[in-house]
Structure 1
Amino acid sequence: MTAVEFHPLTFVDEPDGVVVGRSDTQSYAVLPDDGAALLRRLASGMTLEEAAQWYHTEFGESVDMTDFLDTLRELGFVREGTDDPARLPPLRLPPLRLRRLGAWAFSPAAWAGYAALVTACLVMLVTHPGVRPHTDNVFFSPSLVVVQVSLALAQVPAVSWHEFFHVLAGRRLGVPTRLSMSRRLYFLVVETDLDGLYGVPRRKRYVPFLAGMLADVLLFSALTLLAGSGPSWAAGPALAVAYTILFRLVWQFYLFLRTDLYYVFTTLLGCSALHDATSAYLRTKLSRLPGVRPPDLDESAWSPRERLMAPWFALVTVCGVGFLLATAALAVVPLLWGFATRLGPQLAHGTAGGAGFWDAIVSLALFFTDFALLVVVSRREAARRGTHSRSKETTP
C-alpha cells in the first residue's frame, strides 16, 4: 500500500469545478468535481490503491493514478520524498504577519471611524465650495516644475497606501498577500498579489478586492478635510493630490483594463479568465479585418460560463472605451489646457534670465521627456511581443 503526503490544500467550489491550491506558494488549479473528490481522499490519508478503488466504485470508471499523481506533483501539491511519509519532517508554516492589524483595520470600530471621516468630508464639500475638486486645484504653485515634481513624488505613497489596504484585507483572512514592484510602461508601480484569494470562498473576496478603493476614498477625505481646516500652506498641495486620487477612482471603472472592479465583477459572475476569453472572442470576430491576428486559442479553451459571458463583456469593453474617452475629454483635456495657458505666457513674455522663463523651459522639457520615454518604451514592448509571437509560430 502506497500513501502520499500533501501540503495543506484549500478546496473552493466554483460554478465550473473546484479550485484547489496551496496558499503558501499560491499555486492553484481548477479540477473537475470528481478529480477534486479523489484528491480529498488522497489528502485524507487514503493509499493510492484505496483511492483508485473508491473512485471506481463511486464513478464507475477507472483512473490512471500515476498520471493523476504526476499532475499533482507538477502543481506542487505533493510533498517531495513521500515514498516514506514517516520520514518526512513535521510541516511548519511560517506565521502570517499583519493578520492582527488586518483584523483591526476592518473591524466594526474601524468601519465606524471610516464612516465618520467620509461623512465629515461630505459636510466639508457642501459647506466649503473652495475645497471641491476642480482642475485649477492641480496648479497650487505658480511654478509648473514644482507642481509636476510634487505630484509625481506624491503618487508613490498614495499608491502604496492603496495597495497596503489590499494586503491588510487579505491578511485578515489568512491569505499571504504581499506587495511587489513592477513596471507599467516606464513607470515603477506597486502591486498586490491577491492570487491567494482563490483559496477562500467567493463571498469573502469582495472586501480585499475593494479595499484599495476604500483606501483612496479615505485618503481623499483626509486631504479634503486638511485643505478645509488645516494650515493654509497645506491646502494647495492637499487639494492637488486629492484631485489625482479622483482620477484613480475613476480608473477603477475601466473594467476592460482589469482593475479592482473587474475582479469584483468576474467574482460575481463566477469567472476566472473573462478578460482573456473576451479578447479571444473579439479577435475571432474581427480576424477578417486587416492587421487583426486570430487568437492562439479558440473559444473552446475557455469554460462554458466564460464563453457565455464573453459576448456581454465585449459590449462592456466597447462601452468602457467610450467612457475612457469621455473622461479624458472632461478631465485630462482641461488639465492640458491649464498647463498650456500657464506655460505659454511665461515663454512668450518672460526674459531669458527670468525665473518664470526657465521654469517654463524645464517644465516643458519634463513633459516632452515623459512623452518620448512613453513612445520609446511602447515601441520596444510592441517589438518584444512581435518577436515572441513569431518565435511561437516557428516552434515545431
Structure 2
Amino acid sequence: MKISLQSEITLYPLSIRKDKKNYIVEEPISGDFFELPEISVDAIKRLEKGEGLAAIEKTLKESYPEEEVDIIEFVEQLVELGLVQEVDGIEIHKEKEKHAKSQGGFKWIPHWVGRLFFNGIMNKVYLLLLITNIFILILNPELFPHYKDIFLFDSMVLNVLTYLLISLVLIVIHEFGHILAIRSHDLPANLSIGNRLIFIVFETDLTQAWKLEPKKRNILYLAGMSFEQVILFLSFGFMLLFPDASFVGIISIIVLDIFIKSVYQCCFYMKTDVYYVVENVTGCYNLMESGKIYLSSFFKKSGLDHKKMFEDEWNLVRIYSVFYIVGVFLTLLLTFMYFIPQLYYMITTVYLNIMGAGDRAAFWDAMAFLLQTMLMLILLVYLARKKRREN
C-alpha cells in the first residue's frame, strides 16, 4: 500500500507516557510497548488530531530544525509496528491479538496478596536481608559454598536429581516473587520455560511492567532475588544454629544454588534481573546492544563515530562495556571454581564405577547417570532450537 503526503492515516488507540528520556507508547490491543523520542510522539499526536501529513511534516521541520524529518517514512514505520489501523479508509490487515498474558496472567491471585509481600516496608526488609547475608558470609567464611556440596550421596544419579529438584523449587519461588510483585499492581504476568547457558529456567514475562514508572519497575525486577534473600538468611541461620544436623547437607545445596544464581545476575552480557534495573535507572533501554557495538569496534574498524552515535549515552555505554567484560570473567571464575571441578568429580567417579571400581549397584548407577545426562542434553538442544526459531 503506497503512502503519500495526501494519505489519510488512522492509528489504533494509543497510550503515551513520559519516561526518563523518551516516551513509552502502548498499543492496548496487542499489548505491545515502544520507546519513542519526543518528535515521534509529537507526530503521533498530530496524526490522532487528524492533521494532514504535509502539514505535520512542515510543522515538525520548523519545531525540530536539527532533526531529519520524513513523515512518509515515519508512517511506514508505524505500519510495520502495527500501530496504523487504516490508510485512506482501507484497513491494514495486520493480525492483532491479545497476548496470553492479558487473558490469563495469574489474575486469580488477588492484588492484595501481592501487596502483602511487596510494599514500602517489605521492600526495605529485603534490602536489609541482603546486607545482613553479606555480613554473615564475611564473618563466617566456612559458610561459603564448596563445589562438593552437591555430592550428598554415593549415588551420582541421586545427587543430580536432588540438586535439580532443589534448583527447580528455588526457580519457582524466584519466579513467584516476580509474579506476586506484578500482581501487587493488579497487572498480569506470563510464565514460560527456557534456558540460560546450560541452565533450564522459568521466565516471567513482565512486559506489562512498562505501564509503571521506572522506580516501581525496579521492584518487580528485583522481586525474585528478594525472595532468595529470605531463603538465604534462613539457611544461614539453620547452618549456624544446627551445624551438625542431618539437614545441613540439603541447606548447603540451597546456599550453593542461590550463590551461583546471584553471581550470574551480575553477568551483564545476559539480560538478567539486575541488568533490567540498570536499564531502568539509566533510562538507556538498548544498553546491551549499544555495548556490543562499542566493544566490537575494538576488533574491527567500522568507520563509525561511536561517540556521536551514542550521543548523551556515550559514558553509560563505555561503563556498561566494562561491566560486560567483568561479567564474562565472573562466568569464567564460576566455571573454574565450581563447574569444572564438579564435572571432573562426576566423570572420574562414573568412569571408575563403570570400570568396576565399585560394586554392581555403583556400575548401574553410573550407566543411569550417563542416560540421565543424554536426556538433559537433548532437552537443552531442543530448547535452544526452539528459542532460535522464535527469534
Deviations 1:189-227 (A, max 9, x none): 311223333343223222122122212222333444566
Which residue of the partner structure matches residue 32 of structure 2?
27
Deviations 1:41-99 (A, max 9, x none): 666xx4436x987996787469987876665455444667997xxxxxxxxx9798243
Contact 2:352/2:358 (<8 A) preserved? no
1:327 maps to 2:327? no
Which residue of the partner structure matches residue 216 of structure 1?
228
Deviations 1:141-160 (A, max 9, x none): 22111010121233323212
TM-score normalised per structure 1: 0.70
Q: Structure 2 unaligned segments of length 5 or more: list them.
A: 1-7, 90-101
One-letter identity of the residue aligned with 1:244 = D
Query: Shift in Å at residue 280 of structure 1?
Result: 2.4
Contact 1:277/1:306 (<8 A) preserved? no
TM-score normalised per structure 2: 0.71
Match for residue 48 of structure 1 among 48, 51, 61: 51
Instruction: For 1:124-139, list aligned pairs within 5 A.
Output: 133-139=145-151
Instruction: For 1:1-396, list aligned pairs within 5 A.
Output: 6-7=12-13, 9-15=15-21, 17-22=22-27, 25-40=30-45, 46-48=49-51, 60=62, 71-72=77-78, 74-77=80-83, 97=107, 98=109, 99-108=111-120, 110-111=122-123, 114=126, 133-184=145-196, 188-225=200-237, 234-287=247-300, 303-339=310-346, 342-343=349-350, 346=353, 350-351=357-358, 353=360, 355-367=361-373, 370=376
Distance 1:363 1:234 in 2: 24
**Kindly tell me: are residues 104 and 59 of structure 1, through their superposed partners in 2, closer, same or farther at Cα, counting changes over 3 Å?**
farther
One-letter identity of the residue aligned with 1:356 = A
One-letter identity of the residue aligned with 2:292 = S
**Identity value in percent:** 24
Which residue of the partner structure matches residue 90 of structure 1?
none
Distance 1:335 1:54 in 2: 64
One-letter identity of the residue aligned with 1:280 = I
Q: How many residues align?
A: 366
Contact 1:206/1:264 (<8 A) preserved? yes
Q: Classify the secondary structure of the residue corresponding to 1:257.
A: coil
Contact 1:181/1:189 (<8 A) preserved? yes
Q: Structure 1 unaligned segments of length 5 or more: list them.
A: 84-92, 289-293, 389-396
**Kindly tell me: are residues 239 and 38 of structure 1, through their superposed partners in 2, closer, same or farther at Cα, counting changes over 3 Å?**
same
**Kindly tell me: are residues 109 and 139 of structure 1, through their superposed partners in 2, closer, same or farther at Cα, counting changes over 3 Å?**
same
Q: Alpha carbon RMSD of aligned pairs, Å?
A: 4.9
Contact 2:209/2:217 (<8 A) preserved? yes
